[in-house]
């Protein structure tokens, strides 16, 4: 890296927009969406999709709710051309879906593109040419006037051929490619020259797509560029202003959201941001960002997992585990404090199901996009009592008392730390059983019987202590009091019961009950124990012995 990067790089100049409005606006409705998965997404794959894969992904995009889908560059290859024809001839395109095709401002390419569209119901013909200073100088070696002439000549060639698409509803789209790196005044000049050819009206609008082809500035600059165009271009009411952001600075989502605030009407992007370099805009993220603010995105991601499966199968790409909304780990919490907050938030939610969603650390309800609550919290060595307790309760119906959570949480964390991996609910249950329920040394139960006479409970206990049989009698105001009294006569440490709770386990445990008991010694030492049995009295006795064994 350069010690002084200013000698090699320079900041992008600001846009003069002293009365910008976008910072004070709020988004209140979804934009028009256009998927470019089958074009921008496909061209960015090491192994492009074949026709059957493209068809499968096309059907998925339709199912999600996209009404505008860029299906390819039909003049680029026979595969692209044939895919277009297959969609049209075999009637795979619903009547309310627009087929969008991409073409450069060249006559031979425009001719082939028109051929590919004959017989379609609705089409968007998307023409582009690059306009930035670097492209004008390095790639084309042409002046501003010459670049503008390429655009207007291409627009005229398309206009002259529209009569061949009789019976087809056509919408025209122009992109000054590399708009974000182009002087806004020149982008306006070229775009208006194309408009002069196509003659859009408020009743028959054209799409003016303003791509952030390569992110060269902070997203607020892109928003300024969009607002400047919206304020200064002629016939704004005859235009659909469209955004097409890439992610070179990892701010494609931010640039798009600010661009919508700046006045844009439409968004082009791909599922999960697949595209050249660092990718295109991730439409899933922008749509669900709107959803979490109470805005209907007009796209259906209620079964996001099935969409991911199709996407990964068709593209060969994988979803990163931290991908917003879609990643495997985005609805997980490894931090103990996070887990505790999520657990409390979900508990509050259950008591007030009609309230607005306000669960800490979860921006939306995972169930809304086909995820399950059991996936929400996962446990590793950084986890705390909240996550541990949550999994035990959700998966096995083991509802630990709060004080017992504080005792078992660190024990579980130490065990997980030794394993050196994330653990499941079943792993945690096994740890709990080993630490509490299966504690049988030095004290273990062989038999326990009680009788109640005039409010006094007498017990006869048969135990083992370090493998040797111990029998005693005891009495008290209940079975546990009688047990404690009897143990005191048999050489066990003196203690009292400080806390007790019990509940039934799930039917999977054979209708068993589980008891949790905390004992306290005269010197203040406290230990929890737990016992399981189909008889709650025996479960409680086992819990006392468990705690005693842990002293």
pLDDT tens digits for range 220-242 = 999 999 999 999 999 999 999 99
Q: Are strands 443-453 and 266-269 parallel, antiparallel or unpaired?
A: unpaired
Burial class (CB in 10 A: 0-12, 13-18, 19+), 4: exposed
Token duo for residue 331: 């609805």
151-165, 218-232, 332-346: segment of lowest average pLDDT: 332-346
CATH numbers and ranges of domains, the chain = 30-315 (3.20.20.70), 336-436 (no CATH), 443-549 (3.30.160.270)
On the question of pLDDT at 510 being above 70, the answer is: no
Sequence-distant (≥ 6) Cβ neighbours of residue 6 within 8 angstroms = none
Tell whether omega for the bond before 61 is within 30 degrees of 0, i.e. cis. no
Phi, psi (degrees; rounded to nearest 5) at 439: -70, 115
Position 373 scores a pLDDT of 55
Phi, psi (degrees; rounded to nearest 5) at 219: -60, -25
Q: Are strands 443-453 and 456-465 parallel, antiparallel or unpaired?
A: antiparallel
Helices (H), strands (E): how many in the chain? Answer: 17, 14
Residue written as tokens 């006045």? 263
Find out whether 268 and 39 touch, Cβ atoms under 8 Å: no
* Long-range pairs, 143-151, Cβ under 8 A, ≥24: 144/186, 144/189, 147/190, 148/189, 148/190, 148/193, 150/105, 151/105, 151/127, 151/176, 151/190, 151/193, 151/194
What distance in Å separates the CA atoms of residue 281 and residue 254, rounded to the nearest whole number? Answer: 10
Q: Are strands 32-35 and 68-72 parallel, antiparallel or unpaired?
A: parallel
Sequence-distant (≥ 6) Cβ neighbours of residue 541 within 8 angstroms = 445, 448, 461, 479, 480, 483, 531
Residue 503 has a CB neighbour count (10 Å cut-off) of 12
What distance in Å separates the CA atoms of residue 37 and residue 125, rounded to the nearest whole number? Answer: 16
Position 26 scores a pLDDT of 96
On the question of pLDDT at 272 being above 80, the answer is: yes
pLDDT tens digits for range 96-121 = 999 999 999 999 999 999 999 999 99
How large is the average pLDDT for residues 20-35? 97
On the question of pLDDT at 378 being above 80, the answer is: no
Phi, psi (degrees; rounded to nearest 5) at 497: -85, 120
């Amino acid at each position: 890296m350069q010690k002084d990067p200013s000698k090699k790089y320079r900041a992008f100049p600001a846009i003069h927009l002293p009365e910008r409005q976008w910072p004070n606006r709020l988004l209140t409705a979804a934009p028009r969406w256009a998927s470019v998965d089958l074009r921008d997404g496909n061209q960015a794959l090491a192994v492009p999709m074949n026709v059957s894969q493209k068809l499968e992904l096309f059907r998925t995009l339709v199912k999600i709710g996209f009404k505008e889908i860029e299906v390819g560059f039909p003049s680029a290859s026979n595969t692209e051309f044939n895919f277009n024809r297959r969609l049209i001839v075999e009637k795979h395109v619903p009547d309310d879906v627009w087929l969008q095709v991409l073409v450069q401002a060249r006559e031979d390419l425009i001719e082939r593109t028109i051929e590919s569209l004959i017989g379609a119901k609705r089409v968007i013909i998307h023409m582009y040419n690059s306009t930035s200073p670097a492209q004008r100088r390095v790639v084309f070696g042409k002046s501003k006037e010459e670049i503008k002439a390429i655009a207007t000549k291409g627009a005229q060639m398309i206009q002259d051929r529209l009569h061949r698409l009789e019976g087809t509803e056509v919408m025209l789209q122009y992109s000054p490619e590399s708009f974000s790196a182009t002087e806004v005044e020149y982008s306006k000049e070229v775009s208006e020259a194309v408009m002069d050819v196509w003659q859009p009206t408020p009743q028959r609008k054209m799409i003016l797509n303003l791509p952030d082809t390569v992110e060269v500035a902070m997203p607020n600059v892109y928003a300024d560029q969009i607002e400047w165009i919206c304020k200064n271009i002629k016939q704004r009411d005859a235009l659909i202003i469209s955004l097409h952001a890439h992610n070179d600075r990892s701010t494609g989502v931010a640039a798009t959201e600010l661009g919508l605030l700046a006045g844009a009407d439409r968004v082009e992007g791909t599922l999960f941001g697949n595209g050249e370099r660092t990718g295109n805009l991730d439409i899933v993220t922008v749509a669900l960002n709107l959803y979490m603010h109470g805005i209907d995105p007009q796209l259906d991601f209620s079964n996001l997992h099935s969409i991911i499966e199709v996407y990964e199968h068709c593209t060969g790409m994988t979803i990163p585990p931290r991908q917003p909304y879609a990643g495997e780990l985005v609805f997980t919490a490894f931090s103990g404090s996070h887990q505790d907050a999520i657990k409390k938030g979900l508990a509050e939610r259950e008591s007030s199901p009609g309230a607005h969603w306000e669960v800490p650390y979860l921006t939306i309800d995972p169930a809304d996009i086909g995820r399950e609550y059991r996936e929400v919290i996962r446990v590793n060595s950084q986890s705390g009592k909240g996550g541990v307790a949550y999994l035990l309760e959700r998966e096995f119906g083991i509802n630990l008392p709060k004080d017992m959570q504080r005792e078992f949480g660190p024990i579980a964390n130490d065990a997980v730390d030794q394993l050196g991996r994330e653990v499941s609910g079943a792993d945690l249950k096994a740890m709990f059983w080993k630490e509490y329920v299966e504690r049988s040394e030095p004290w273990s139960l062989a038999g326990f019987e009680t009788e109640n006479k005039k409010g006094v409970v007498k017990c006869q206990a048969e135990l083992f202590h370090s493998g040797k049989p111990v029998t005693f009698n005891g009495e008290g105001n209940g079975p546990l009091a009688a047990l404690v009294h009897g143990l005191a006569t048999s050489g066990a440490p003196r203690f009292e019961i400080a806390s007790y709770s019990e509940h039934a386990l799930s039917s999977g445990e054979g209708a068993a009950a589980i008891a949790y008991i905390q004992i306290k010694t005269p010197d203040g030492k406290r230990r929890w124990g737990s016992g399981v049995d189909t008889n709650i009295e025996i479960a409680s006795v086992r819990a006392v012995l468990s705690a005693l064994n842990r002293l």
